[in-house]
């Protein structure tokens, strides 16, 4: 599977209102760092996690469908087993631009999730970390993107 282009990721980041699905209860978790950074850069971020009442001082929602007004895009930081359920929720909410986050593990993207996106006209960014695509990202994030791009080219 080839990583999404940096251009697609940056187009996603042009969205004003972004639901961050799978925000952790742990304030030191990577998902919280992403939420804070998107907010710092002027995005209206909406935490989504049924186990949270709030995150970073923002009201959290159980599902994307519960967010009003609906977000323009959704960043899924969910385990692969939950991705399709969240994609169905995004579709019901009218969200047609998603980012299937991938960190060190398997990430949110699965073949079934990507097929669901393709079948339902959902534009999906995958195999990238949001920090790789943010303008002005520091050296570690630019280097991470360089490594991923190189590995993708070497894959059959």
Alpha-carbon torsion (101, 143, 10, 38), positive or negative: positive
CB 50 within 8 A of CB 62: yes
Instruction: Report pLDDT for 8.
Output: 87
- The residues spanned by each domain of the chain are 6-154
Instruction: Report pLDDT for 22.
Output: 95
Which CATH architecture fits 6-154? Answer: 3-Layer(aba) Sandwich (3.40)
Q: What's the token pair of residue 155?
A: 């894959």
CB 101 within 8 A of CB 33: no
pLDDT band with cut points at 50, 70 and 90 for residue 104:
low
50-87 pLDDT per residue, tens: 999 999 999 999 999 999 999 999 999 998 999 999 99
Q: Is the pTM of this model over 0.85?
A: no
pLDDT band with cut points at 50, 70 and 90 for residue 3:
very low
Which residues lie below 8 Å from residue 87, measured CB to CB, with a gap of 6+? 76, 98, 113, 116, 117, 120, 122
């Amino acid at each position: 599977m080839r990583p999404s282009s940096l251009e697609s990721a940056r187009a996603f980041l042009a969205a004003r209102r972004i639901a961050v699905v799978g925000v952790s209860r742990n304030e030191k978790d990577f998902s919280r760092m992403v939420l804070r950074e998107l907010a710092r850069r002027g995005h209206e971020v909406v935490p989504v996690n049924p186990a949270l009442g709030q995150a970073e001082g923002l009201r959290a929602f159980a599902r994307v469908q519960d967010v009003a007004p609906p977000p323009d895009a959704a960043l899924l930081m969910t385990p692969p087993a939950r991705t399709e359920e969240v994609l169905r929720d995004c579709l019901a909410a009218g969200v047609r631009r998603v980012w299937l986050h991938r960190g060190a593990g398997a990430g949110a993207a699965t073949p079934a999730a990507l097929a669901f996106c393709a079948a339902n006209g959902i534009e999906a960014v995958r195999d990238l970390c949001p920090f790789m695509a943010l303008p002005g990202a520091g050296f570690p994030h630019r280097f991470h993107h360089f490594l991923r791009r190189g590995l993708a080219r070497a894959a059959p």
